[in-house]
Amino acid sequence: MANRTEREIGGYEAEFVSTLPNEYECPICQLAYRDPVQLEECGHRLCYSCLQELRRRQGECCVCPLDRRPVSATKMFFDKAAKRAILSQTVKCCNWKRKCDWSGELSSLEDHLKNCNFEEIQCTNAGCDEMLTRRSLQYHLSAKCKLRIVSCSFCTETYCYKDNKVHMKRCKRLPLECFNKCGKKDIAREEMSVHLNTCPMATHPCSYVDVGCDYKGKRDNLEEHYKSSVQKHLELACCKIRENESRTVCIDGKFIWKINNYRKQMDESLASDEETAIFSPVFYTSQYGYKLKLKAYLDGRDRGRGTHLSLYIIIMKGDYDALLDWPYNMKVTFYLLDQSERRQHRSHTLSPNLSLPNIKVVFNRPIGKENLGIGNPCFVPHELLDSGGFVQDDTIFIKVALSSSTNLD
């Protein structure tokens, strides 16, 4: 902002204490002369800057505004006496309307304005363009300026006032209300997690979640749950142990199931009124592959009941299902291995009929613990099983081969 006393064109706009004599008034700007120049031809005076402006506008044929006489560039001089007379006039401060009661010679007005408490200045914080009087600057800087540095009333950090929202979003000590609405307020953000651990309204997962208990409850209910679910938790843990121990991974897509005590198991299934199934250990098709198991009915099922060994494969919910392709799309071949030197294995390759209504329930990604099984109720006739080298030392071997070339397309 240009200083008031140093306007580019024209005289002093000051508030003179006693009326300024006419002879000190520039005929062009009608203000008190600033750097008065006297024209030799007619003796009239003008502000130097007003004369310059006149020449700029009128060019070569420049004339005195009072008597139209030509103004010659060489015939003029600075009127030092007039200048001195004007500068010694007593003026009020330009800010007298704002109640500045300073008065003094015009020559010292400029110096006064540099310190005048009522002078309007821009905020001294770079980036803040607020205009205010000098005397309110301190208050503005400490209490109003958007760029002032404030210290957080919750933590010890300081920050720029305009960043208040940003700070509050991450202030560690900002008081918050409990997320569970337990009624506790004023919980410092960094203490929230500690509170949530003891909050009476918080729900916690059962600590047996890893073995498959999906119970969640408030602290009190959880105590009850632990007391009433001892048996359930033990069973889940046992299951998990068994599963971990039996976690088998196919090598080259081949899995072999050794069934011991064949005769005893067969007798049991013959003695039962119902179709009795036995299950293979759970296995994965590869380290991060599909989870499967086999299911056999030694005395047969459905069409094979009483005459055949029936064999099925079941897709189970596995740990890596999210990464695998669905529906399951591998060729499955069952073998009953001949342990004699003839090695005349019995085999059957599944050729699922894709038009069957429940075929999706078999091959899609499992939603529950496992899918429906698929297989062959007439895999091996009992006569064949008892004749060859299939049962030796009361043991049979069932093999399943999985290959990614598919017959499902």
Q: Where along the sequence are the contacts to Zn ion (CB under 5 A)? A: 11, 26, 28-29, 42, 44, 47, 50, 64, 66-67, 93, 95, 100, 102, 116, 123, 125, 128, 130, 145, 152, 154-155, 171, 178, 180, 182, 184, 199, 206, 208, 213, 215, 229
Q: Select 69 or 263, whichever has its Cβ closest to Zn ion.
A: 69
Burial 162-178 (b: 16+ CB within 10 A, else e): eeeeebeeebeebeeeb
Radius of gyration of the chain (CA): 51
* Nearest distance, CB of residue 65 and Zn ion, angstroms: 8
C-alpha 342/C-alpha 335 separation (Å) is 15
Enumerate residues 6+ apart whose C-beta is below 8 A from 327. Answer: 360, 363, 364, 365, 408
* Nearest distance, CB of residue 176 and Zn ion, angstroms: 10
Dmax (CA) of the chain: 147
Strand partners, 335: 347, 399
Q: Select 42 or 408, whichever has its Cβ closest to Zn ion.
A: 42
**In the complex, residue closest to Zn ion by CB:** 26
Q: Select 146 or 305, whichever has its Cβ closest to Zn ion.
A: 146
Using alpha carbons, select from 259, 267, 347 the residue that is nearest to residue 295: 259
* Nearest distance, CB of residue 282 and Zn ion, angstroms: 23
Q: Residue 344 is which amino acid?
A: Q
* Nearest distance, CB of residue 149 and Zn ion, angstroms: 12
Q: Select 144 or 382, whichever has its Cβ closest to Zn ion.
A: 144
What the block records as the tokens of 353 is 């009929």
Enumerate residues 6+ apart whose C-beta is below 8 A from 188. Answer: 154, 172, 173, 174, 175, 176
* Nearest distance, CB of residue 322 and Zn ion, angstroms: 25
* Nearest distance, CB of residue 44 and Zn ion, angstroms: 3
Q: Residue 177 is which amino acid?
A: E
Q: Select 57 or 342, whichever has its Cβ closest to Zn ion.
A: 57
Q: Select 211 or 278, whichever has its Cβ closest to Zn ion.
A: 211
